[in-house]
Amino acid sequence: MASQGPVNPSHATFDLFVQAQTCKDVKHHFTQLCRQLEIDPEDFGSFYAKLKERLNYWKAKALWTKLDKRASHEDYQQGKVCTKNKCLVLGAGPCGLRVAIELSLLGAQVVLLEKRETFSRNNVLHLWPYTIYDLRELGAKKFYGKFCSGSLDHISIRQLQLILLKVALLLGVEVHTGVEFQGLIEPSGENGWMAKLQPRSHPAAAFQFDVFISAGGGRFVPDGFKHKELRGKLAIGITANFINRHTAAETQVEEISGVARIYNQKFFQELLNETGIDLENIVYYKDDTHYFVMTAKKKSLLKKGVIKQDHNDAEQLLAPANVDYEALCNYACDAADFSTGGRLPDLQFAQNHAGQRDVAMFDFTCMHRAENASLVKERRGKKLLIGLVGDCLVEPFWPLGTGIARGFFAAFDAAWMVRSWGNGVPHLKVLAERESLYQLLSQTTPENTSKKYAAYSIDPRTRYQRVNLSSIQTHQVQHLYDVEKTHPSFKKQKESSLHMRQDSAGGSEELLKWCQKHTAGYKNVNVKDFTRSWRSGLALCALIHHFRPDLIDMSSLDESNCVHNNQLAFSILEKELGIPPVMSPNSLANTDHIDKLTMVLYLTQIQSGFALPKK
């Protein structure tokens, strides 16, 4: 009998690569394919072109058509814009892989590191329409036929990672799994920026790069970045994954795309009466597993013995030692059974990465957010551009499904930043643009972003509705440029700031008039100069109050409390306008220590900061 499969071995391997369902298999078939076609996967510059040329297979061609369409976008300047850039990407989560794809389309050499060996996260993610469109255009359906078919708008994390990993490899991204990033190594001798890795002798440890993108997930903060914690009222989430055997009976059970207590009181009351389980909401999606995510009330978790002891502190409350794992499994299982009307015949837990029953409980109201999205470090004259994307930039509020949507937006924005870097835009401008965009990210919703998904690209103007790439200006991001103090470029920076001081001093009359105009009428404020008049801090506070009355309560300030007033003004100006203080609150309070030129420089920055259009 004639064989149904392809006769050419590389075609068969390509099929295996496309269908592979584990990270290990994807990598194995990819290596095999490269060997068969005699292409060096490290030859990133011409890898994709050679692959297309040598793999003359109709199934592959359908994929090339999609990838070619993307690659031909004008933003990538025919894959030439970043050919001189070497990028290290940390993390093969969805966002790390997505940014790696964009960087390779820009022509950069991209090395991606992932500490895990397997993709094992079963949890299913709700996707915004644009992400579905974006993934389809990358060939998602070719790799995973079920991808968002019909009205489905979700996918498991591991499937999403598999799709993106395959695309990344085909485009020449070098992916290393089982290798942990432990920090940056500063340039020394002939060497540029490198990474400290575990295992230490890993070949990627020799990679020198000028761009580092961190997509290490929730709590991973690279050196130099600060995270803010946002904590809301305690809300306890539970996720549970059960094996999907894809039987006819399982197929018929309807998904629950989100039912909240306020919309279905009866359902939740019956659940409570029959099982003692008290929930705020529940979602059920089908993918590789039957996935349930619910928000449970603390009281019912205590009553059912899931949480052993009550604590006010969320960390203590949900610490593993305070959770009865068996009781948690029963709780999740009963909730899943009740909400699907007992129609899922055999609720057997799927396994998580640790080989245990895949159930988890967490407080999802504590979220982290980075204060800034980018940084430039310079040592021994070698600059390194650093950017954050995904959960390590902004942790999402999962019930809104913002994780992947904002994560991909940040990945595109980071790629846009690297594009400017590759185009030789001055580093402060690159940083200012990136931070201007970062301000928009947290406000994005499916409603206020462009609906023209086909036009989406790394160019922010195709996605955000109102973009002002200079809403943050270069002087406001100077603190994001970390250069060693002894290096000539630091001296140059100092000199140019001295020139600016002299220029500023020259034009100081105008500045004085501006200060007088905007502080007129405030009690105990009389601006006559750049020294004594600012001592009490009231004039600075008055300036702030004039432009942003919401930020300061003038009636609460005491003229004699100079240090406090100065400190208050300094912190507001730093937080709101990104202007770092130029002296201590004590020095300003002490007339002998006020340097006129320093004050002129500081006020000049404040003047241009307030001159910006209001956000």
Q: Which residues contact 460 (CB under 8 A, 6 or more apart)?
A: 412, 413, 416, 437, 440, 467, 469
Q: Does 158 bind ligand FAD (CB under 6 A)?
A: no
Tokens matching residue 232: 């809301």
Part of the chain binding ligand FAD (CB under 6 A), chosen from 113-121, 225-233, 344-352, 565-573: 113-121
Return the number of the residue (250 or 358) whose C-beta is nearest ligand FAD: 358
Residue keyed to tokens 């499994």: 329
- Picking from 49, 167, 42, the residue whose alpha carbon sits closest to that of residue 98 is 167
Helix segments in 46-139, DSSP class H: 47-54, 58-71, 94-105, 129-137
**Window 491 to 520, contacts with ligand FAD (CB under 6 A):** none
- Choosing from 107, 187, 192, 401, the residue that interacts with ligand FAD (CB under 6 A) is 401
H or E element in which residue 418 lies: helix 402-422
Q: Which residues contact 573 (CB under 8 A, 6 or more apart)?
A: 540, 544, 579, 581, 606, 609
- Choosing from 55, 67, 215, 367, the residue that interacts with ligand FAD (CB under 6 A) is 215
**Window 75 to 104, contacts with ligand FAD (CB under 6 A):** 90-96
Tokens matching residue 187: 């340039």
Phi, psi (5° rounding) for residue 249? -65, -40
User: Vertex 608, ends 612 and 577: CA angle to 5°?
Assistant: 70
Tokens matching residue 493: 């920076």
Tokens matching residue 510: 């105008």
Please state the closest distance from residue 436 (CB atom) to ligand FAD, in A.
22
- Picking from 90, 88, 114, 113, the residue whose alpha carbon sits closest to that of residue 103 is 88
Return the number of the residue (104 or 519) whose C-beta is nearest ligand FAD: 104
Return the number of the residue (111 or 539) whose C-beta is nearest ligand FAD: 111
User: Vertex 422, ends 477 and 495: CA angle to 5°?
Assistant: 45
Please state the closest distance from residue 171 (CB atom) to ligand FAD, in A.
18
How many chain residues are in contact with ligand FAD, going by CB under 6 A? 34
Q: Does 537 bind ligand FAD (CB under 6 A)?
A: no
Q: Which residues contact 472 (CB under 8 A, 6 or more apart)?
A: 432, 435, 436, 439, 578
**Window 161 to 180, contacts with ligand FAD (CB under 6 A):** 180
Please state the closest distance from residue 115 (CB atom) to ligand FAD, in A.
4
Return the number of the residue (95 or 148) whose C-beta is nearest ligand FAD: 95
SS3 label, residue 136:
helix
Q: Does 412 bind ligand FAD (CB under 6 A)?
A: no
SS3 label, residue 289:
strand
Tell me the per-residue interface mask from 358 to 397 with ligand FAD, x by CB under 6 A, - otherwise: --------------------------------xx----x-
- Choosing from 407, 422, 537, 609, the residue that interacts with ligand FAD (CB under 6 A) is 407
- Choosing from 24, 115, 141, 202, the residue that interacts with ligand FAD (CB under 6 A) is 115
Return the number of the residue (79 or 401) whose C-beta is nearest ligand FAD: 401
Residue numbers of the site for ligand FAD (CB under 6 A)?
A: 90-96, 113-116, 123, 125-126, 157, 180-181, 215-218, 220, 237, 239, 293, 390-391, 396, 398, 401, 403-405, 407
